[in-house]
C-alpha cells in the first residue's frame, strides 16, 4: 500500500479524475472529501465488506434448508 | 439454453431471461449473468441463479411484502447504468439469508437488487444510509398473507 502524509486541505490526485482531500482532523477522526466521476462507486469499506459477507452467507444455503420454504407455505 | 442450477438440477432457460449484472455482485464479482427461477412450492420467493456457476444462487423476495414502507432513492449514476427512465423500469428484490428455524432468516435491505426488467440489467445497490440493515428480520406474518 502506498502511504502518503497529508495536512488539512491537502489532496491526493488519483488518475486524472479522482481527488481525495483531507477536509478536517479532529482527534482520531479524519474528514475526507472525495471528488470522482458519478460512475465511480464510493462506500465505507466496512459496509462493502458486510454486504460481501452477507451475500456469501446467503449463497451458502444448503439444499435442505430450501425445504423450509415449502413447509412455510403449508404452515 | 440449458444451465446447471443449485436447486433444480439442469434447467432450460430462454436467452432473453438472462439478466446482466455488469459489476457482478459483491463477493461474486465474476458472476455477471443471472436468471430468476420461480420456486413452485412458494411463489413469495424466487432463486437468482448464476448462469455460469451452478453453486452461486440466492433466495430472493419482494421486500415490500414484508416492509411495505421500504424507501430509498436511486442515484442518477445507477439510473443511467441500468437505463432506467421511469418507475416501471425498476424491479426491487432483496436477498434472503435463510436460517433454521425460518423465523430467524433475514433479508438484506441495505443492498437491494435493482433490476430493469425491460433492458434485463441488474445491480446490487448499496444504500449509503443507515436506515436499513443488511440483516433485517423476516417477519412471518406477511408471508402467510402473501402466500395464502
Q: What does the pLDDT average to over A43-64?
A: 92
> Residue A51 and residue B77: Cβ atoms within 8 Å?
no
Q: How many CB atoms lie within 10 A of CB B116?
A: 21
> Domain range holding B117?
2-147
pLDDT greater than 70 at residue B143: no
- Count CA atoms closer than 13 A to B8's CA, side-chain side: 22
Looking at the partner chain, which of A48, A68, A73 has a beta carbon nearest the beta carbon of B98? A68
For residues B130 and B110, what is the distance between their CA atoms, to the nearest angstrom?
8
Give Rg (Cα) of chain A: 21
Which of the two residues, B128 and B18, has the higher pLDDT score? B18
> A69 CB contacts (<8 Å, ≥6 apart)?
B39, B41, B42, B45, B59, B98, B102
Q: Is the pTM of this model over 0.90?
A: no
Q: Which of A17, A44, A54 to mutate against chain B (most B CBs within 10 Å)?
A: A54
Mutate to test the interface with B, among A58, A63, A67, A73 (most CBs of B within 10 A): A58
> Do B42 and A56 make contact, defined as CB atoms within 8 angstroms?
no
Question: What are residue B19's DSSP bridge partners?
Answer: B34
- Which residues of A are less than 8 Å from B79 in CB distance? none
- The tens digit of pLDDT for each residue in B57-103 reads 999 999 999 999 999 999 999 999 999 999 888 999 999 999 988 88
Asked if this assembly's ipTM is beyond 0.95, the reply is no
Mean pLDDT of A32-59: 94
Count of domains forming chain B? 1
The DSSP-derived string for B8-38 is: TEEEE--GGGPEE-TT-BTTBTT--EEEEEE
Mean pLDDT of B104-126: 96
Mean pLDDT over the full length of chain A: 90
Of B80, B143, B82, nearest in space to B112 by CA = B82
pLDDT above 90 (res B128): no
- B135: cell is 440483516
Interchain contact, B77 vs A38, CB within 8 Å: yes
DSSP B63: H
Q: How far apart, in Å, are the Cα atoms of A64 and each of A67, B58, B66, B145?
A: 5, 14, 24, 24
Q: What's the mean pLDDT in B122-148?
A: 77
| Residue B69: CATH number of its domain | 2.30.290.10
What confidence tier does B145 reach under pLDDT thresholds 50, 70, 90? very low
Q: Name the pLDDT band for B147 (thresholds 50, 70, 90).
A: very low
Span of B52-56, B67-71, B141-145 with lowest mean pLDDT: B141-145
Q: What does the DSSP 8-state code read for residue B44?
A: T
DSSP of chain A: -------TT-EEEETTTEEEEEEEEETTEEEEEEE--TTS----HHHHHHHHHHHHHHHT--HHHHHHHHHHHH-
CB B112 within 8 A of CB B93: yes
Amino acid at each position: 500500500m502506498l502511504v502518503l502524509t497529508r495536512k488539512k486541505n491537502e489532496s491526493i490526485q488519483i488518475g486524472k479524475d479522482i481527488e481525495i482531500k483531507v477536509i478536517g482532523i479532529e482527534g482520531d477522526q479524519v474528514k475526507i472529501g472525495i471528488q470522482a466521476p458519478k460512475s465511480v462507486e464510493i462506500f465505507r469499506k466496512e459496509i462493502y465488506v458486510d454486504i460481501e459477507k452477507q451475500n456469501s452467507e446467503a449463497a451458502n444455503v444448503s439444499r435442505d434448508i430450501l425445504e423450509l420454504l415449502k413447509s412455510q407455505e403449508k404452515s | 439454453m440449458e444451465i446447471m442450477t443449485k436447486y433444480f438440477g439442469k434447467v432450460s432457460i430462454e436467452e432473453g431471461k438472462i439478466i446482466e449484472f455488469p459489476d457482478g455482485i459483491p463477493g461474486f464479482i465474476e458472476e455477471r449473468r443471472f436468471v430468476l427461477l420461480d420456486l413452485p412450492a412458494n411463489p413469495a420467493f424466487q432463486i437468482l441463479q448464476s448462469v455460469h456457476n451452478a453453486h452461486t444462487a440466492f433466495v430472493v423476495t419482494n421486500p415490500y411484502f414484508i416492509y411495505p414502507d421500504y424507501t430509498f432513492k436511486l442515484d442518477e449514476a445507477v439510473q443511467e447504468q441500468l437505463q432506467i427512465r421511469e418507475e416501471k423500469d425498476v424491479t426491487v428484490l432483496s436477498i434472503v439469508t435463510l436460517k433454521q428455524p425460518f423465523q430467524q432468516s433475514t433479508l438484506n435491505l441495505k443492498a437491494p437488487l435493482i433490476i430493469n426488467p425491460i433492458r434485463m440489467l441488474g445491480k446490487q445497490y448499496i444504500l449509503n444510509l443507515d436506515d436499513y440493515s443488511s440483516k433485517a428480520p423476516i417477519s412471518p406474518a406477511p408471508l402467510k398473507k402473501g402466500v395464502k
